[in-house]
Amino acid sequence: MIMKGKKGLIVGLANDKSIAYGIAKALHEQGAQMAFTYLNEALQKRVEPIAAGFNNSPVYKLDVSDESDMGAIASKIAADFGTIDFLVHSVAFAPKEALTEGFMKTSKSAFQIAMEISVYSLIDLTNRLEPVLAPGASIITLSYLGGPKYIPNYNVMGVAKAALESTVRYMAVELGVKGQRVNAISAGPIKTLAASGIGDFKQILNWNEANAPMRKNVTIEEVGNSAMYLLSDLASGVTGEIHYVDAGYNIMGMAAVEKNSDGKSVFIWDEQK
């Protein structure tokens, strides 16, 4: 098994519909040992049963904005695992009003919160874990096309994802001298708890399905398999990359077309509405 003997931490799993769960499932199937974190008591009740299903994996409380939680995470991992070989950062947040109003109405506090939780937490967490990160450790975070491109209603989270992708590149250079790798997966839209805060998300799903080269949306299992590859030694020469898992949607420059019965090109989206 590809991940046999590998140990790691998954931060941000919310339930069995989340992308982090798809990643954990793929890692587990390939023999990895994992620890999980939860944000608060409400999520603890969801995460602990999931962790129990993955060989009774350890579970830690971790609010990335809480100094006491962040200060204790490395020692907890050291006690359970010694060192870890991988880190999955699946953390993003912006206040609701920053996703429901226009981007230009984003408040300073909402902007700062989105950047702290969604971007700086990756830097901070990696620094805190330095004592327990193995020399060849692999780190992945989760991005979205709303970083490099405009996506309706994504607003400040798009700016945060753009910053996150840039962070991946800068971290890759500084950690690369130690043999450690950092990559991001930019997944296509998936119906998750996090996505529920994006306005008109159903339309985004339908648009992607109609216009992606593969004419479908991706699953958490597909994203999980790609993440497992990036975290494994199979990707030992890959770092600083933004790896798209979106059925090819990111390559499209305009809506997909096909020939109708008259031989004329028509937009698939118009045909399916």
Report, as residue numbers or ranges, the catalytic residues. Answer: 144, 154
Asked if 246 and 147 count as a contact pair (C-beta separation under 8 A), the reply is no
Give the amino acid at 63: D
Pairing of strands 133-143, 84-89: parallel
> What tokens does 137 get?
């450790």
Beta-carbon contacts of 138 under 8 Å, excluding residues fewer than 6 positions away, are 85, 86, 87, 180, 181, 182, 183, 230, 231, 232, 235
Our CA dihedral for 117, 123, 124, 128, rounded to 10 degrees, sits at 140
Asked if 137 and 185 count as a contact pair (C-beta separation under 8 A), the reply is no
Round to whole Å and give the CA distance between 118 and 194: 12
Our CA dihedral for 108, 111, 113, 119, rounded to 10 degrees, sits at -150
Helical segments of the chain, H only: 19-29, 41-53, 67-81, 97-100, 108-115, 121-128, 156-176, 201-211, 220-231, 268-272
Beta-carbon contacts of 166 under 8 Å, excluding residues fewer than 6 positions away, are none
Q: Show the CA angle centred on residue 158, arms to residues 257 and 182, nearest 5°.
A: 100
Identify the burial level of 237 via C-beta atoms within 10 angstroms of its C-beta, where 0-12 means exposed, 13-18 middle and 19 or more buried: exposed
